[in-house]
Amino acid sequence: MTKPNSDPYWWEEFPAFDGEAEALPETCDAVVVGAGLTGASAALTLANSGARVLLLDAERPGYGASTRNGGMIGGGYRLSLDEMSQKYGADTALRLLQESYNDSYDFARKRIADQRIDCDYNAYGRFRGQWNDAEYSATARGLDDLRKLIDVDIDMIPKSGQRAEIGTDFYSGGMRLNDHGGIHPGKYLNGMLQSAARAGAVVMGNTPVGDVQKQGDGFVVTTARGQLRADTVLMATNGYTTLDFPRLKRRMIPVSSFLIATEELPQALIDDIMPARRMCVETRHRHCYFRLSPDGKRFVLGGRAAMSRVPQARATSVLRGLMSEIFPQLAKAKISHSWTGQTGFTFTFLPHIGQFDGVWHAMGFSGSGNAMAPYLGHKAALAMIGDPAADTAFAQTTLETRAWYRKSAWFLPFAHQLYRFTDRREDRRRAT
Ligand SMILES: Cc1cc2nc3c(=O)[nH]c(=O)nc-3n(C[C@H](O)[C@H](O)[C@H](O)COP(=O)(O)OP(=O)(O)OC[C@H]3O[C@@H](n4cnc5c(N)ncnc54)[C@H](O)[C@@H]3O)c2cc1C
């Protein structure tokens, strides 16, 4: 069997960014570290305000999660109002719900439209498969509560209606988020980078930033290509944050997620497994998410084959197993691509905007950033230029660490085992 390509499938249509600067300027107004969705969106907003912006990445621009992800876009974090109220108070909790379900997604759609980003965006709708009947009922109750608080376009789909959504009986019904969509991650990030560059931002890849130090009114930024001075700096490194920035690193948990794409499938098989072309996710901790490629010819599935890096062959085999479990029809499908990426989880499961020693950061998207990352990149940029429209409840969330998390996320394999155990317990509830 041929070994699958270990580059993301999306990179087949993710051109190398042309127009990268070759020499580091001596000064600029703003440096943005990390050229993913957060950094590119921040750079665009900063450049539009007239600032001289430098957008740096350690690798090729867009190397991180932004071009490796599942390409599902929409709002919402899976935390209840009660959980958020207990931690941040009722008013902030309500604002967090409003911003995560509606404002961030509205912003991302507007940015796609205003910048004419050709990224195969389509409002396919998202089906979230429920793992057992008890979970279906609890989710339906939670949805009733949510509807009383904010405007959401979501329906519960009972098991009897499931086959119209997805070609499997694997789930106990599901939730359909009607306005959620799908994008092509490579084209999305490329469009965001091009927009930032058009607005005047200077983009440089292969330029790791090793240090940022306050000096006078501004900062000295040390990179592999030399030093420069900047008035303000944003860290937008999420799950790829390195130990050069220990305070951030200790607050960002790099959880790996793995994806596979099949070779092109026969049309009849595509129609059978994905009759409504939905973006699909599920509620168990193995957390599979799957969709068709934007051209409708391939099946793309992601999941938690492990929570830390494992050999790609092992991840491929686990994901193949999960794919065949959900869709036995795909047991013989050939895998063309198998890749991985790092999400940036926080201990609160919510992202955050803030500052350490005057250096801004916007990160912690906890597995869901296609709408939220451009939104918070924009908000961080507004904060950097002192615009009151920067106001966001995500400045009130806390970026926490734990005494036992210092250099490496040694605890992830244990967390993986714990989740497997929880899944097995939920499996039993499924059988009864
Ligand atoms: C496999 C996978 C599937 C996902 N699926 C979805 C999905 O379907 N829908 C969704 O909404 N979200 C999804 N996500 C989450 C989403 O991709 C991220 O939240 C989002 O892309 C984060 O964007 P970012 O710009 O903050 O970080 P990234 O895109 O990760 O960019 C960070 C960049 O920082 C650079 N960097 C790090 N350190 C330095 C340094 N010292 N100097 C210079 N550069 C540095 C890195 O090279 C990297 O390019 C997924 C994530 C993964 C990994």
Q: pLDDT band for 410, please (50, 70, 90 cuts).
A: confident
Q: Which of 429, 421, 362 is nearest to 390 (CA)?
A: 362
- The residue whose C-alpha atom lies closest to atom 10 belonging to ligand 1 is 368
Look at the chain and report how many structural domains it folds into: 2
Concatenating the DSSP letter of every residue in 268-337 gives HHHHHH-TT--EEEESSTT--EEEE-TTSS-EEEEE-S-SS---HHHHHHHHHHHHHHH-GGGTTPPEEE
Is residue 429 a part of any domain in this protein?
A: yes
pTM: 0.96
93 within a domain of the structure (yes/no): yes
Same domain for 85 and 225? yes
Tell me whether residue 417 is in a domain.
no
pLDDT of 1 reads 66
Rounded Cα–Cα distance for residues 133 and 129 (Å): 11
**Looking at residue 379, which CATH number applies to its domain?**
3.50.50.60
Mean pLDDT of 241-251: 97
Same domain, 269 and 357: no
What band does 307 get if pLDDT is binned at 50, 70 and 90? Answer: low
Residue 365 in contact with ligand 1 by CB distance below 6 A: yes
Q: Are residues 236 and 287 in the same domain?
A: no
Is residue 368 lining ligand 1, measured as CB closer than 6 Å?
yes
Residue nearest to atom 16 of ligand 1 (CA): 369
The mean pLDDT of 70-94, rounded to a whole number, is 90
Average pLDDT over residues 162-168: 96
Residue 56 beta carbon below 6 angstroms from any ligand 1 atom: yes
Residues 154 and 115 in one domain: no
The rounded Å distance from CA 58 to ligand 1 centre is 13
Measured in Å, residue 238 CA sits from the centre of ligand 1 at: 6
Q: What is the pLDDT of residue 105?
A: 97
Range of the domain at 110: 9-121+181-252+346-401
| Cβ 75 under 6 angstroms from ligand 1 | no
Q: Is the shortest distance between the CB of 367 and ligand 1 below 6 Å? A: yes
In a domain, 312, yes or no: yes
Cα of 237 to ligand 1 centre, how many Å?
Answer: 7
| 307 & 396 share domain | no
Average pLDDT across the chain, whole number: 94
Domain membership of residue 408 (yes or no) is: no
Pair (115, 143) in one structural domain: no
Q: Is the CB of 67 under 6 A from ligand 1?
A: no
With cut-offs at 50, 70 and 90, classify the pLDDT of residue 308. Answer: low
> Ligand 1, closest atom to CA 339?
1
Ligand 1 atom closest to residue 240's alpha carbon, by position in its atom list = 37
Query: Which is the closest atom of ligand 1 to the Cα of 367?
Result: 15
**Interior CA angle at 103 toward 101 and 105, to 5°?**
70
Q: How far is the CA of 66 from the centre of ligand 1 (A)?
A: 5
The upper half-sphere exposure of residue 190, i.e. CA atoms within 13 Å in the direction of its Cβ, equals: 18
In whole angstroms, what is the distance from residue 411 CA to residue 416 CA?
Answer: 9
Share of the chain above pLDDT 90, in %: 83
pLDDT of 431 reads 55
- 248 found inside a domain: yes
